[in-house]
Amino acid sequence: MSEKIAALIEEVKGLTVLELAELVHALEDTFGVTAAAAAAAPAAAAAVEVEEKTEFDVILKDCGASKLNVIKVIRAATGLGLKEAKEIADNCPKTLKEAISKEDAEKLANELKEAGATAEIK
């Protein structure tokens, strides 16, 4: 290493954090570069594709005031008997349907909300 470089390194060692930050900004402006870390290779990023979720669960959070209407929706959606549907309504939160399409999940959640219940799609 040349004496000039060694002297420069010694000078940099003596700077405060604020002075170092100012030096970095000055170097960026002077040479038109950035001190940011290099980004991941685009080819690697393109290889990892995010899968869109295709299966959803509908969870009955709360029946609300009109439990009878909610029980009717539960029975229609699940094919359960009155006793089983009432048991689900009495023990919220419960998962009503699992691994159904987004459209079906939204339809069921809307029917439950119209009946006075609180439903969630996961």
Asked if 74 and 89 touch (Cβ cutoff 8 Å), the reply is yes
| Other Cβ atoms within 10 Å of 75 Cβ, number | 17
* Residue range 5-32, pLDDT digits in tens: 999 889 888 988 888 888 888 888 888 8
Judge whether residue 35 has pLDDT over 80: no
Task: Name which residue leads in pLDDT, 118 or 52.
Answer: 118
Per-residue confidence (pLDDT) for residue 47, from 0 to 100 = 54
Domain 56-121 listed as CATH 3.10.150.10: no
Rounded CA separation 63/85 (Å): 12
Per-residue confidence (pLDDT) for residue 41, from 0 to 100 = 57
What residue spans in the chain does CATH classification 3.30.1390.10 cover? 56-121
- If you write DSSP's letter for every residue of 59-110 in order, what string do you get? EEEE--S-HHHHHHHHHHHH---HHHHHHHHHT-SEEEEEEE-HHHHHHHHH
Rounded CA separation 36/84 (Å): 60
* Residue range 81-118, pLDDT digits in tens: 888 888 888 888 888 888 888 888 899 889 989 988 88
Asked if 115 and 72 touch (Cβ cutoff 8 Å), the reply is yes
